[in-house]
Amino acid sequence: MQTAVSFQKGDRIAVIGGGLIGTSWAALFMAWGHDVALFEHEEASRNAIPPAVSGLIAQVAELAPGLPASGRLHLATSLEEAVEGAAWVQENVPESVPLKRAIYAGIEAVAPAGITIASSTSSLVWSELSADMTDPLRLITAHPFNPPHLMPLVELFGPDAARIQAAAAFYRSLGRHPVFLRREAVGHIANRLSSALWQEAVNMVAEGIADVAEIDAALVHGPGLRWSVVGAHMAYHLGGGAGGIGHYLAHLGPSQERRWRDLGQPRLDAATCDKLVAGIAAEAGDRDIAALEAERDAGLIAVQRALRGRRP
């Protein structure tokens, strides 16, 4: 059986679905020298892809100067055309189990035997998605963090260990940082962490503890800054003094459990949603979404250039 291990630089990659995530993946693959065949079924969306991709490739080049950026983009007019002869499939269609299952059936009908189909799904899990496949082991979940062309994280799950290792090697070859789930979970790792943190961020707004902009500033200048360098578990290890996390758990475990019970479980009711929308308006000021995204992207590039070579 041909497996992902045989993937070579210059091989063609099929990108299925040309929304925000598919377009960003296409730019990343092309920046690293791969040709991309992209299938997007909506014609209006399809026409917007080439100019968008050019802008994103320029950002990747800013982040990682010296890349070949020689990949070519082919806009396929059918799923079959995109997938035929592809060495890798990255699927990014909307988050619907029936839709994704239909796409996988279409891919299995024409794609070279055994090549990996990697789903970018954020909210669905492998067992649901693979249920109707002829060869379910060829499916993996490979969830990027938005925007994929600038964020290194890719979260991997699939029951075929060799295929997961091959996927990790593939994403590493694109400057990504793959992480591994031991079992599938809704939201994988990163969105579970984000969701847990945002729950308390919303709670503090609902409870009137602090305004939206102050909570965001506390995160950016406090734990967010620290978590760009060390993880949450490791931070508690370093907060335990010479005894590390063992000492921390022995002495402060009970008070941490009490803190967990003190956290809120807000509802996103109309009153709370109004406070969130008003709070974001105050925080954004006169910056529209395009300006805020440009600030974010410039920041993401600056931080990663500063940390290059420092992180394991």
| Shortest CB 136 distance to its own copies, Å | 21
- Rank residues 66 and 312 by Cβ distance to its own copies and give the closer one: 312
Q: Which of 55, 68, 112, 222 lies at the binding interface for its own copies (CB under 8 A)? A: 222
- Contacts of its own copies in 15-74 (CB under 8 A): 20
User: In sequence order, what are the residues at sequence separation of 6 or more whose Cβ sits closer than 8 angstroms to the Cβ of residue 201?
Assistant: 215, 219
- Contacts of its own copies in 239-298 (CB under 8 A): 239, 241-242, 244-246, 249, 253-257, 259-260, 262-263, 265, 267-268, 273, 276-277, 279-280, 283-284, 289, 292-293, 295-296, 298
Is 238 a binding residue for its own copies by CB under 8 A? The answer is yes
- Rank residues 113 and 294 by Cβ distance to its own copies and give the closer one: 294
- Rank residues 72 and 296 by Cβ distance to its own copies and give the closer one: 296
Q: Which of 61, 69, 137, 219 lies at the binding interface for its own copies (CB under 8 A)? A: 219
CB under 8 A: which stretch of 25-33, 96-104, 158-166, 304-312 binds its own copies? 304-312
- Contacts of its own copies in 190-209 (CB under 8 A): 190-201, 204-205, 207-209
Give the alpha-carbon dihedral of 96, 98, 104, 109, to 10 degrees: -150
| Shortest CB 288 distance to its own copies, Å | 9
| Shortest CB 198 distance to its own copies, Å | 5
| Shortest CB 231 distance to its own copies, Å | 2
Query: Three-class SS string for the chain?
Result: CCCHHHCCCCCCEEEECCCHHHHHHHHHHHHCCCCEEEECCCHHHHHHHHHHHHHHHHHHHHHCCCCCCCCCEEEECCHHHHHCCCCEEEECCCCCHHHHHHHHHHHHHHCCCCCCEEECCCCCCHHHHHCCCCCHHHEEEEEECCCCCCCCEEEEECCCHHHHHHHHHHHHCCCCEEEECCCCCCCCCHHHHHHHHHHHHHHHHHCCCCCHHHHHHHHHHCHHHHHCCCCHHHHHHHCCHHHHHHHHHHHHHHHHHHHHHHCCCCCCCHHHHHHHHHHHHHHHCCCCHHHHHHHHHHHHHHHHHHHCCCCC
| Shortest CB 273 distance to its own copies, Å | 5
Q: Which of 40, 91, 108, 155 lies at the binding interface for its own copies (CB under 8 A)? A: 155
- Contacts of its own copies in 98-137 (CB under 8 A): 123
- Rank residues 74 and 177 by Cβ distance to its own copies and give the closer one: 177
| Shortest CB 37 distance to its own copies, Å | 26
